[in-house]
Amino acid sequence: MTTTMMKMTATTPSNCATFSDGPVDSLKENGDPFPKDELQEEIDKLSDSASKPGIAERLRSIRTREEALKLPTRLRLGWFANLTIKHAELERVLKDVGELLSSGNGCQIIPIIGMTRIGKSTLMGKALLELIHAYVGPVAIHELPFLVVEVPSTGDHRRSWAALFHEILQAGKEPLIEVKKTVQTSKVGGLSVLATQKAKGVDGLRQFIKQMLVNRNIRVIVIDEAVHLKKYGDSESTMNALKSMASVNSTTKLLLLGSFDLLGMVTGLDQVVSRGSIVHFRRYAIGRKEATMTKDERAFYRCVVKLENLWPWESKPQLTKNWRKIGLACWGSIGALKTLAMRLLILQSRSKDGVLTKEMWMKASMPKEAVKTIEAWVVNGEKAIEGWEYGSGAFDPDELEDLVAA
């Protein structure tokens, strides 16, 4: 029995969730509020380098700031770049996804939606993979329990689909993709005859994927940067193509990771609504006025404390003293907090005396007007997703007393 708890009204493209990202053109193109400048490129390089075999194992053994300070500069920067900061909202999202992945749950399409830099990449890490392993259970030697792909963002819609299907086949470790043939069964004189034919174009690749899903018994397909699917054609055709993959095997589930731009696409088709549940990866609400900490603020504050205590440089910034200002500059997003800290650390590592300056803080953070614009974009997204996310239910919580009473 499905535990899907989306709205209980029929959904059509005319009443699907609508979201406009307004003036944030960079988010449309890149899906990222932080500029693709030299600092961001350096973060990506450090993260990739720290993920290489041998280096990754060494860095995973580093647990304390004192140990990190003994590393060469680029290794300690890489260690900090790949730190996973566990926090309450991440744990809640993992719990919800775990429920939707559980056996017997009829939900097949699980969009995980939140603002960019909220921490969806962290979600893709060890914790989510452990969840998936628990869902699929023991596997035979020929089986592949799950695969992870990132949606390519360039090209016209047919070339884009071809690129995505190639990514899926490669993630499934399928050999000789370019020379594969489809197999069709036909009846000749009462006998079943197998005929092979070299597959052509996107349709042929789609057929290969369907065969792979069955043959390898793939239970979960994780599609990262799913917002780029909007470039592949109209929403209905795109979701139909994804739904057809999930329909090949009754146990196969699709996890779509993306920003609020995904909303209209995943809520605009009846069959997707009835077979899917949206998990909202929320940011932490940070108030502008000094007051007693709220639950959200305490959770964000704890993450700031962790980053300061693990800061891999001799001179530490006063993050905890200024946690509220930092929270507002990061929209309450842990991913954005981590990016800000990483940009600041790189600038600090390049200075001769290793002392942080006001200029470093200004360069590491987003421009003031950009912060305001992205805040408005996030607020619009939060309003659009309200009432669609898993757990929102169709009941008024205040009227549930009779239903839960013994």
Q: Which of 210, 281, 286, 283 is nearest to 252 (CA)?
A: 210
CA 115 to chain centre: 10
**DSSP collapsed to 3 states, the chain:** CCCCCCCCCCCCHHHCCCCCCCCCHHHHHHCCCCCCCHHHHHHHHHHHHHCCCCHHHHHHCCCCHHHHCCCCHHHHHHHHHCCCCCCHHHHHHHHHHHHHHCCCCCCCEEEEECCCCCCHHHHCCHHHHHHHHHHHCCCCCCCCCEEEEECCCCCCHHHHHHHHHHHHHHHCCCCCHHHCEEEEEEEECCEEEEEEEECCHHHHHHHHHHHHHHHCCCCEEEEECHHHHHHHCCHHHHHHHHHHHHHHCCCCEEEEEECHHHHHHHCCCHHHHHHECEEECCCCCCCCCCCCCCHHHHHHHHHHHHHHHCCCCCCCCCCHHHHHHHHHHCCCCHHHHHHHHHHHHHHHHHCCCCCCCHHHHHHHCCCHHHHHHHHHHHHHHHHHHCCCECCCCCCCHHHCHHHHCC
Gap between the Cα atoms of 153 and 228, Å rounded: 5
Gap between the Cα atoms of 242 and 262, Å rounded: 13
Cα–Cα distance list, 354 to 30, 79, 292 (Å): 32, 18, 35
In DSSP terms, which residues pair with 191 in a beta bridge? 188
Gap between the Cα atoms of 307 and 80, Å rounded: 9
Q: Which residues contact 118 (CB under 8 A, 6 or more apart)?
A: 281, 282, 283, 333, 334, 335, 336
Q: Please, what is the Cα angle at 173 between 171 and 178, to 5 degrees?
A: 100
Gap between the Cα atoms of 30 and 25, Å rounded: 9
pTM: 0.81
Contact status, residue 113 vs residue 259, Cβ threshold 8 Å: yes
Per-residue pLDDT of the chain (406 residues; tens, 9 = 90+): 344 433 333 334 445 565 554 444 445 444 555 667 899 899 999 999 999 999 999 999 999 999 999 999 999 999 999 888 889 998 999 899 989 988 777 888 999 999 887 777 666 676 677 778 777 778 888 888 888 888 887 666 666 788 888 888 888 887 765 555 555 555 555 665 544 555 556 777 888 888 888 888 888 889 988 888 887 777 777 887 787 777 777 778 889 998 898 888 888 777 677 888 999 999 999 999 888 999 999 999 999 999 999 999 999 999 999 999 999 999 999 999 999 999 999 999 999 999 999 999 999 998 899 899 999 999 999 999 999 999 888 777 777 776 665 5
